Amino acid sequence: MVKVCVLGAFGGIGQPLSLLLKINPHIDELSLYDLNDCHGISKDLSHINTKSTTSGFDKNTLKDALQGSNIVVIPAGMARKEGMTRDDLFKVNANIIKTLCLHIGQTCSENVKVLIISNPVNCLVPVAIETFRKLGKLHPENIMGITTLDIVRAETFLREHLRELNNDDIDPLDHDVISVVGGHSGTTIVPIIPDKNIIKLLGSSRYKQLVHRIQFGGDEVIKAKKSSGSATLSMAYAASEFISTILLSMTHGTGICSKEQKYRYLPAYVYLPGLKNGAQLKRHLKQVAHLDVNYFAVPLKFKNGSISELDPTILTKLSQEEIELLRAAMEPLQINIKKGEKFVQNTA
């Protein structure tokens, strides 16, 4: 029996994500929680004829919502409007993530997977890790920041360029055509194209455009929505894809994402120390970027729903442009990470 709990289920991401989870055949029970009462959303979804059951909760029943969950996904919190940075969300959302993680730690089993969507992801995953550490219940293999939207965008935008070049030999959804590592904001987002012939094929101007769009895709959506909010539908899709890979590994043992019969490993933003190949990745980062960090988005392999290892090869085949992107990412990433860690260390 697999139970998935959505914290922030009433919101712009929460509602379409809950719909996608309701139609996922690997979920038996869906639990929907928000400060806004989720009974109505739950009733609506419960009429869909898939096998899972749904329950809605309100702000007084968080414990009941969490009880027995295998996966808790968190899109709770404030979203950006035009003119805001993800950093502007920190104060409000760090409090939300800390409070929710305290409840998860007190209510759920130590094997629960905690998936963070709320921004700034670069800071809030450290907030979650430090909160679980304080509780004495830290399992880094089960805590992830969802950065799948970056890879979804990278694949989409690369496809658009390849179409314009009349190239249909390369399918961006093939394993390893494009990956995205680093963090989830601006220049901390680092696209990597292992086959450097593809970078040559794109040419310098297209390549720069592609990188910029992947790094600042979130701003594009906010602008188009005319200040009503940020990406919700594409994010719900991305989170649903990521959760599917975890569910596949829970039901089939391995964690691969199946797309049109093609397979690839999805990255997520994770705490490197304590994860298999984490030390190796930190060494590579130090070698290539002259700095290292404890948190980094990197392609993952799963076993039974938990991270089993990180892809150690991802930083070994970099072009000069990619090395420069990586170097530019490190300092802002370090600042973001420290901010998240300090927040928990300095609060009761």
Catalytically active residues, by annotation: 184
**Residue 213 interacts with ligand LMR (CB under 6 A)?**
no
**Residue 231 interacts with ligand NAD (CB under 6 A)?**
yes
Cα distance between residue 36 and residue 98, in whole Å: 19
Position among 86, 98, 161, 339 found at the interface with ligand LMR (CB under 6 A): 86
Instruction: Return the number of other C-beta atoms located less than 10 Å from residue 310's C-beta.
Output: 24
**Residue 22 interacts with ligand LMR (CB under 6 A)?**
no
**Residue 272 interacts with ligand NAD (CB under 6 A)?**
no
**Residue 230 interacts with ligand LMR (CB under 6 A)?**
yes
Residue with Cβ nearer ligand NAD (69 or 119): 119
Provide the minimum distance between the beta carbon of 95 and ligand NAD in the complex, in angstroms, as a whole number.
Answer: 8
For residue 261, the SS3 value is coil
**Angle separating helix axes 121-135 and 90-107, nearest 10 degrees:** 40
Cα distance between residue 339 and residue 94, in whole Å: 10
**Residue 161 interacts with ligand LMR (CB under 6 A)?**
no
For residue 135, the SS3 value is helix
Provide the minimum distance between the beta carbon of 152 and ligand NAD in the complex, in angstroms, as a whole number.
Answer: 9
Residue 221 interaction partner, one of ligand LMR, ligand NAD, none, beta carbon < 5-8 Å per kind: ligand LMR
Of all residues in the shown chain, the one whose CB is closest to ligand LMR is: 218
**Cis? peptide before 120, omega within 30° of 0:** yes
Residue with Cβ nearer ligand LMR (91 or 286): 91
Residue 75 interaction partner, one of ligand LMR, ligand NAD, none, beta carbon < 5-8 Å per kind: ligand NAD
**Residue 35 interacts with ligand NAD (CB under 6 A)?**
yes
Position among 38, 104, 128, 149 found at the interface with ligand LMR (CB under 6 A): 149
Provide the minimum distance between the beta carbon of 229 and ligand LMR in the complex, in angstroms, as a whole number.
Answer: 9
Residue 279 interaction partner, one of ligand NAD, ligand LMR, none, beta carbon < 5-8 Å per kind: none
Tell me the two tokens of residue 304: 């039974």
Q: What is residue 116's DSSP assignment?
A: E
Provide the minimum distance between the beta carbon of 344 and ligand NAD in the complex, in angstroms, as a whole number.
Answer: 16
Whether the Cβ atoms of residue 199 and residue 172 lie closer than 8 Å to each other: no
**Residue 114 interacts with ligand NAD (CB under 6 A)?**
no
Residue with Cβ nearer ligand NAD (7 or 193): 7
Cα distance between residue 126 and residue 143, in whole Å: 10
Instruction: Return the number of other C-beta atoms located less than 10 Å from residue 343's C-beta.
Output: 21
Residue count, binding to ligand NAD (CB under 6 A): 31
Beta bridge mates, 192: 179
Residue with Cβ nearer ligand NAD (60 or 346): 60
- Is 260 buried (19+), middle (13-18) or exposed (0-12) by CB count in 10 A? exposed
Position among 54, 55, 119, 294 found at the interface with ligand LMR (CB under 6 A): 119
- Is 176 buried (19+), middle (13-18) or exposed (0-12) by CB count in 10 A? middle
Nearest to 155 by CA among 228, 69, 257: 257
Q: Extract the runs of DSSP E, i.e. beta strands, from 49-127.
A: 53-56, 71-74, 113-116
Residue 305 interaction partner, one of ligand LMR, ligand NAD, none, beta carbon < 5-8 Å per kind: none
Q: Would you list the DSSP string of 264-305? A: EPPEEEEE-TTSTTHHHHHHHHHHHHS---SEEEEEEEEETT
Provide the minimum distance between the beta carbon of 16 and ligand LMR in the complex, in angstroms, as a whole number.
Answer: 14
Q: Please state whether beta strands 71-74 and 3-7 pair in parallel, antiparallel, or not at all (unpaired).
A: parallel
Contacts with ligand NAD, residue ranges (CB under 6 A) = 7-8, 10-14, 34-36, 75-80, 89, 93, 96, 117-119, 121, 146, 149, 184, 229-232, 235
Contacts with ligand LMR, residue ranges (CB under 6 A) = 80, 86, 119, 149, 217-218, 221-222, 230-231
